[in-house]
Amino acid sequence: MVWGVRRASSAVHQGGVAHVMPGAGLLVVTAVLALLALWLGVESAGAAQPCQGADCDVVADPDRAQYVGTGGLLLPADSFTGSDADRTDAATCPECRWALLPMCRGEGQAGDVACGPAAASCPPGQFRRIVLLLRPDDTEWQEVGLVCLVGGAPTTVDDLATELADVVVEDVPALQPSAQPSGGTLIGLPAVFASGQPRSLGRRQFVLVGFSVVLEGRASWSWDFGDAALLATDDPGGSWPHLGVSHSYRRAGDYLVGVSTTWDAWFTVDGLGPWPVGGDPVVQVADPLQLTVCEARAELVVG
């Protein structure tokens, strides 16, 4: 709609001479502009209008960043428009600084202002951000690409490491030690032990906050055979004839055999990493096994 404003004046006729009142035309123009602004405000209240001009610029200005940080920024490979080198530096360079900017100056952190097709092309629940990097040797920020992020917020390596610590705790198999022979053994003959666990967690793949995550873990065991003999191993043990975890006793008696498992886990994100899972390694301790060791006796049998 094209709006035209005619200049107007207010005149008072005195003695056939028209006297123009100063400022009257300006008052009329101001009133018309005020009505126009009010009409436009009502018109735009019903739906978000695509921002235009200066409100939609994407100038790489870190001063208007929504989020800033140092090192460990994870950028999804499927939506990041920059290079693999930039994505790697953002995640693995501990001294690199990063900043995330909204696509529009007027955009709130929830992404509630439309900004044209470029900003609306992310999956539901994700919002597009401009990514800036400042490497240790650089003097100026570099705009390295655009990315879609869940909620528009950053996810760091430390964030995922913390989340995955709970996953490891829930996923490690139970420690269920056993010994053979089940009724005990003889002096000088090996007792064979098993943890009842696999060597590793296997390769677990899933999507977490928009990232393709691969989680892996490996176990190690510490055995205390009850006679001051100790064994640290990455062998889970097994049944006869597997002697990976076995022990021969020199004296008869009842022994308490203890074992604990320590799980170390790590993860990769969209091919980057690996990084250790956060927190301390998961440690499992089982109730001790009771093992009876007997002395062998020779008997003469007459046939």
The domain spans of the chain are: 53-153, 157-294
pLDDT score, position 45: 31
pLDDT in tens, 238-252: 999 999 999 999 999
Contacts made by residues 199-208, CB under 8 angstroms, sequence distance 24+: 199/234, 199/235, 199/236, 201/168, 201/171, 201/172, 201/263, 201/265, 204/171, 208/160, 208/163, 208/164
Whole-number percent of the chain with pLDDT over 70: 72
- CA dist 191 and 227 (Å) reads 13
The answer, yes or no, to whether residue 281 has pLDDT greater than 90, is yes
Residue 4 confidence class, pLDDT cut points 50, 70, 90: very low
The answer, yes or no, to whether residue 196 has pLDDT greater than 70, is yes
CA distances from 113 to 48, 50, 222, 223, 279 (A): 6, 8, 58, 61, 39
The answer, yes or no, to whether residue 64 has pLDDT greater than 60, is yes
CATH class assigned to 157-294: mainly beta
Find out whether 233 and 224 touch, Cβ atoms under 8 Å.
no
Identify the residue with better confidence: 46 or 26: 26
- CA dist 287 and 290 (Å) reads 10
Find out whether 195 and 295 touch, Cβ atoms under 8 Å.
no
Task: Find where tokens 């003097």 sit.
Answer: 139
The answer, yes or no, to whether residue 186 has pLDDT greater than 80, is yes
| Selection from 132, 154, 144, 141 nearest residue 82 by Cα | 144
The answer, yes or no, to whether residue 265 has pLDDT greater than 90, is yes
The answer, yes or no, to whether residue 2 has pLDDT greater than 60, is no
Identify the residue with better confidence: 107 or 65: 65
The answer, yes or no, to whether residue 297 has pLDDT greater than 90, is no
pLDDT score, position 111: 43
pLDDT score, position 183: 81
pLDDT in tens, 80-111: 999 999 999 999 999 999 999 987 655 444 44
pLDDT score, position 36: 38
The answer, yes or no, to whether residue 182 has pLDDT greater than 50, is yes
Residue 5 confidence class, pLDDT cut points 50, 70, 90: very low
Beta bridge pairs of residue 73? 156
Grouping H, G, I as helix, E, B as strand and the rest as coil, residue 25 is helix
Find out whether 163 and 208 touch, Cβ atoms under 8 Å.
yes
pLDDT score, position 38: 38
- CA dist 265 and 200 (Å) reads 9
Rounded mean pLDDT, 223-232: 97
pLDDT score, position 118: 54
The answer, yes or no, to whether residue 57 has pLDDT greater than 80, is no
pLDDT score, position 51: 36
Distance of CA 7 to the CA centre of its chain: 62
Residue 261 confidence class, pLDDT cut points 50, 70, 90: very high
Residue 210 confidence class, pLDDT cut points 50, 70, 90: confident
Cis previous bond, 173, omega within 30: no
- DSSP 8-state symbol, 294: E
What the block records as the tokens of 247 is: 């022990």
- Residues in Cβ contact with 213 at an 8 Å cutoff, skipping those fewer than 6 apart: 160, 164, 205, 206, 207, 267, 268, 269
The answer, yes or no, to whether residue 12 has pLDDT greater than 60, is no
CA distances from 9 to 18, 35, 58 (A): 11, 19, 45
Name the average pLDDT for the chain. 79
